[in-house]
Amino acid sequence: MTLNKHLSSLSRNIHFYTRALCHIRPALSESMAATLGASLVQSRLDYANSIMYRMSVSNMHKLQSAQNSLTHVVLPFLRHLSASERVSYLHWLLVHYRIQFKIATLTYKTLATCHPSYLDNFLQPHQPHELSVLQPSNYSKYHICLLILVSAPSAIQLSCNMEFHPTSIENCSSVYIFKRHLKSHLIAQLINN
């Protein structure tokens, strides 16, 4: 099962809205263009992107180039910067980081609240041998294994192991704080790379 057709359509859709934004960009401030770009385009990148985990490099490249063209339109005066620098300037995440962010947030939320129940049954936090009980505040210290079953003629099982060790994420008391610290961590990773 591949997502080639869906991702090609999504990429065309994103480029359409990017070109539409390009026509009105001179009349918009930078913050207004960034807000419009995020609402029209980034929302399409985020929709159901957790199923895009481990997608092919060519599909990832399609979506990343669509996001890069959006950054060119939103920040026309910063064309001398690389795509990742423009993305971090806007406080956005690259496509593969967005997918990691979505999966980690969904996993944290499900482990912390046991909702949605259809995912709670498939989540299995990895417990190191020296740790007998995994406390909710410690979820981010360890590997989190998320198993998603896709309804298909033959059920396909996707698994992903994600490890987060920054101290700012270790003791998050709420989903909001977890998301904020995780996004800061991923942007810092983007800047450092």
Nearest to 155 by CA among 123, 122, 114, 124: 122
pLDDT of residue 139: 43
Q: What pLDDT, on a 0 to 100 scale, did the predictor assign at position 173?
A: 82
First to last CA, the chain: 32
Position 76 scores a pLDDT of 94
- H/E stretch holding 144 reads strand 144-150
Tens of pLDDT along the chain (193 residues)? 568 898 999 999 999 999 999 999 999 999 999 999 999 888 888 888 878 888 889 999 999 999 999 999 999 999 899 999 999 999 999 999 998 888 888 888 887 888 888 777 777 655 554 444 444 444 443 344 444 433 323 333 334 445 555 656 767 788 888 888 888 888 888 888 7
Record the tokens describing residue 66, joined without a space.
């669509």
What residues have CB less than 8 Å from 23, skipping those under 6 apart? none
Predicted TM-score (pTM) of the model is 0.76
Q: If you count them, how many residues does the chain have?
A: 193
Using DSSP's 3-state secondary structure scheme, residue 93 falls into coil
What tokens does 60 get?
């990832």
Burial class (CB in 10 A: 0-12, 13-18, 19+), 92: buried
Q: Which two tokens stand for residue 185?
A: 């961590």
Spatial CA neighbour of 193 closest among 69, 84, 72, 60 = 84
